[in-house]
Amino acid sequence: MADAPVDSVVSVPVAVVGAGPAGLMLAHLLGRAGIETVAVDTRTRHEIETTQRAGILEADVAHDLVGTGVSDRILRDGHEHEGIEVRSAGRPYRIDFKQLVGASTWLYPQTDVFVDLADARARDGGTVHFGIRDTEVLDVATDAPRVRYTAPDGTRHEIRARYVVGADGSRSMCRDLVPEDRRVRYGTEYPFAWFGILAEAPTSAPELVYAHSAHGFALISQRTEAVQRMYFQCAPDESADAWSDDRIWETLQARVAGEDGFRLMEGPITEKTVLRFRSFVQEPMRWGSLLLAGDAAHTVPPTGARGLNLALHDVKVLAEVLPRALGGAGEAVLEEYEPRALRRVWRAQHFSYWMTRLLHTAPGASSFDLRRQLGELDNVVGTRAGRAYLAEQYTGWPTRDQAH
């Protein structure tokens, strides 16, 4: 109940619902601008830290994390990658980012980005409450929105704010606060999922390997010198427990096999998960005093690893407009948020969809579909324009280039 008594009330300019990378980066950037926040999350810090997510950062994102003082650990523990390998019909093709578009990416797991951000918040005296429940976000259509929640010890609290940012992920409750007759939801489902593993094995290739094969898609990623992250296309209703280590290795090896004799280095599998995904966008991204950021407003399939990069772009724009709105320029400044964020969102929606469709084998595909797909792959890996297109999309679009 909205007005039931609470044990404490705090007032801050911005309340942040969701303390994953997007919510914490926003809190961090606003903190640097002298704006206090309280961030809350229903998950515990441990839960967030141990949920595997993608591991590729755009160079600009890596640069921002270092440059804004989140952490320079990325420079020590991360690895700069100047390209990827795409395998098609058993042949390897290198997409040379540096040479094609003068860009690179950083291999640095999202869980590490989260740890760095949570540590930076603690170091800077920011307020973050993990493991809360019964979250209520109230009065977002007014200029005095509130967030109420129950702390892990059972006490009830209220945050009074001028703005609430909903960075509460792909199962966002905040996005439901935009009235049904004022919002549009766009999306599509895929007839396949990813089987993801963590394995204690040495690295098999210097860069990430995206494999298209007659048996379906596979992705060979990395975590550390001794731990690897790999995925292969499976049915959405596949059960991870039904797969023995032997069967997993056999499947992965078959999908990357080729005339160059490439083989994966095998080792004990320490985690198995089936990851379902979809493409989704909700518009508008702002409703009154509520602003949506990251997965709460849009999700992409994991092919191409755009999700975190996109979320951090939203947050970068928000961290620019919110201080101006709070500093006297007024609410009108917030009108800038959605168009600036959405341009990149829809570019990334297309790219993630395109790369997913390019590399996966749809169940029930006709022989024409399969031959056409090989023709498309040949256009991508076999022409400079095709490779440059993939390289430019994959490495992200520099903010300054968006107008062109």
Q: Is 34 helix (H, G, I), strand (E, B) or coil?
A: coil
Q: Is 287 helix (H, G, I), strand (E, B) or coil?
A: strand
Query: Could you say which of 37, 88, 203, 221 contacts ligand PHB (CB under 6 A)?
Result: 221
Q: Between residues 163 and 217, which has the closer beta carbon with respect to ligand PHB?
A: 217
Q: Between residues 15 and 305, which has the closer beta carbon with respect to ligand PHB?
A: 305
Alpha-carbon distances of 181 from 172, 176, 185, 264, rounded to whole Å: 18, 11, 11, 51
E strand or H helix that includes residue 311: helix 307-324
The binding track of 173-212 with respect to ligand PHB, each residue x by CB under 6 A or -, is -----------------------------------x----
Query: Could you say which of 29, 293, 305, 317 contacts ligand PHB (CB under 6 A)?
Result: 305
Q: Is 304 in the site for ligand PHB (CB under 6 A)?
A: yes
* Edge-to-edge strands, sheet with 56-58: 56-58, 105-107, 79-81
Q: How far is the CB of 56 from ligand PHB (least distance, A)?
A: 5
Q: How far is the CB of 222 from ligand PHB (least distance, A)?
A: 7
Q: Is 169 in the site for ligand PHB (CB under 6 A)?
A: no
Nearest to 298 by CA among 321, 316, 277: 277
The binding track of 34-73 with respect to ligand PHB, each residue x by CB under 6 A or -, is --------------------xxx-----------------
Q: Is 140 helix (H, G, I), strand (E, B) or coil?
A: coil
**For residue 171, which amino acid is it?**
R
Q: How far is the CB of 42 from ligand PHB (least distance, A)?
A: 24
Stretch that binds ligand PHB, among 18-26, 114-122, 301-309, 369-377 (CB under 6 A): 301-309
Q: Is 81 in the site for ligand PHB (CB under 6 A)?
A: no
Q: Between residues 213 and 221, which has the closer beta carbon with respect to ligand PHB?
A: 221
Q: Between residues 194 and 287, which has the closer beta carbon with respect to ligand PHB?
A: 194
Q: How far is the CB of 304 from ligand PHB (least distance, A)?
A: 5
What contacts 338, CB < 8 A, 6 or more positions away?
A: 283, 284, 285, 286
Q: How far is the CB of 310 from ligand PHB (least distance, A)?
A: 13
Nearest to 311 by CA among 326, 322, 320, 299: 299
Supply the DSSP string of 192-248, one letter for each residue.
Answer: -EEEEEEEE---SSSS-EEEE-TT--EEEEESSSSEEEEEEEE-TT--GGG--HHHH
Q: Between residues 305 and 315, which has the closer beta carbon with respect to ligand PHB?
A: 305
Stretch that binds ligand PHB, among 131-139, 297-305, 309-317, 365-373 (CB under 6 A): 297-305
Q: Between residues 169 and 302, which has the closer beta carbon with respect to ligand PHB?
A: 302
Query: Could you say which of 121, 148, 212, 229 contacts ligand PHB (CB under 6 A)?
Result: 229
Q: How far is the CB of 85 from ligand PHB (least distance, A)?
A: 12
β-pair partners for 79:
107
E strand or H helix that includes residue 373: helix 367-381
266-269 contacts at long range (C-beta below 8 A, 24 or more positions apart): 266/199, 266/201, 267/199, 267/200, 267/201, 267/202, 267/228, 268/199, 268/200, 268/201, 269/197, 269/198, 269/199, 269/245
Q: Are 267 and 199 in contact (CB under 8 A)?
A: yes
Q: Is 302 in the site for ligand PHB (CB under 6 A)?
A: yes
Q: How far is the CB of 238 from ligand PHB (least distance, A)?
A: 18
Q: How far is the CB of 353 from ligand PHB (least distance, A)?
A: 13
Q: How far is the CB of 113 from ligand PHB (least distance, A)?
A: 12
Q: Report angle CA 8, 292, 303 to the nearest 5 degrees.
A: 125
Residues that bind ligand PHB in the complex, under the rule CB under 6 A: 54-56, 208, 219, 221, 229, 302-305
